[in-house]
């Protein structure tokens, strides 16, 4: 997000951090704490639809954190559809009134530690392996084209973590839809917030290469009609991600 000089009205200038209710955060999980506070303010209507959020530099000062932390928190809000960042214009509140179950299963939605990431991935490994088998049986040409489009979006995202994560989430959500199983789809809807948070954290930790490699393999296996290979690839994809996170944490 670009830091753009903002002209404020006397009323806006008088609205100090203490009045908004922002508090400086502790050292642990800074991005999650900033994200959580901003999300809470947005859902309470502190900033209205179409209103511009404080600038990056203002948020850094108010929270007492770095620009990197603020940018990561804003990216997560973008992924959830709560705000949009306009190039050269700042970050604005979107109309998210249609987003259902925003805080469902809170605080499970707050994936604050690598251990929580592994918990989410363990769930995904169980569910998505089976979903991949069903998808193999039911995928249409339209479904495969959509998966190709999301893969292309991931490739083109480059350093745009928010765009990459949106495409990643869309890819896995489409696999759930392809199963034509309403329970699988509904659970994915309910867990959308938690899954998108986890996916963004994984990209920050591990980068894009692992995800791109396996998404390509998954699409190719679906096209070849190899059900066992498709299931094995999904399981391997998630297990490799788990092991990579553990390695980053220094675990065996």
pTM tops 0.85:
no
**pLDDT for the residue 14:** 40
**pLDDT for the residue 198:** 83
Domain identity same for 84 and 179: no
Query: What's the whole-number average pLDDT of the chain?
Result: 81
For 163-184, write each residue's pLDDT tens digit. 898 899 899 999 999 999 999 9
CA angle 247, 249, 252 (to 5 degrees): 50
Domain identity same for 228 and 133: yes
In CATH, what number is assigned to the domain containing residue 146? 1.20.120.530
Region 202-214 average pLDDT: 91
Number of H helices, E strands in the chain: 12, 2
Domain that holds residue 28: 10-93
**pLDDT for the residue 205:** 85
Region 179-201 average pLDDT: 83
Side-chain-side CA neighbours of residue 215 (13 Å): 26
**pLDDT for the residue 199:** 86
Domain count within the chain: 2
In CATH, what number is assigned to the domain containing residue 86? 1.10.10.10
């Amino acid at each position: 997000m670009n830091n753009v000089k903002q002209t404020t009205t006397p009323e806006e200038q008088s609205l100090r951090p203490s009045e908004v209710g922002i508090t400086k955060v502790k050292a642990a999980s800074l991005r999650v704490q900033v994200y959580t506070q901003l999300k809470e303010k947005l859902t309470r209507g502190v900033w209205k639809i179409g209103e511009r959020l404080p600038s990056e530099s203002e948020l850094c000062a108010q929270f007492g954190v770095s620009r990197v932390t603020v940018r990561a928190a804003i990216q997560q809000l973008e992924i959830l559809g709560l705000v949009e960042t306009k190039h050269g214009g700042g970050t604005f509140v979107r109309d998210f009134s249609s987003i259902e179950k925003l805080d469902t299963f809170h605080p499970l939605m707050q994936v604050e530690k690598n251990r929580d990431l592994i918990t989410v991935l363990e769930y995904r490994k169980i569910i998505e392996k089976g979903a991949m088998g069903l998808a193999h049986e039911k995928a249409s040409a339209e479904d495969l084209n959509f998966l190709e489009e999301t893969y292309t979006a991931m490739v083109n995202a480059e350093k745009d973590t928010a765009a990459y994560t949106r495409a990643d989430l869309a890819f896995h959500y489409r696999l759930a839809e392809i199963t034509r199983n309403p329970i699988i789809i509904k659970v994915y809807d309910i867990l959308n917030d938690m899954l998108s948070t986890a996916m963004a954290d994984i990209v920050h930790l591990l980068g894009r290469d692992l995800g791109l490699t396996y998404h390509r393999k998954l699409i190719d296996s679906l096209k070849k009609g190899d059900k066992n290979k498709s299931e094995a690839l999904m399981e391997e994809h998630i297990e490799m991600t788990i092991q990579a996170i553990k390695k980053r944490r220094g675990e065996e």
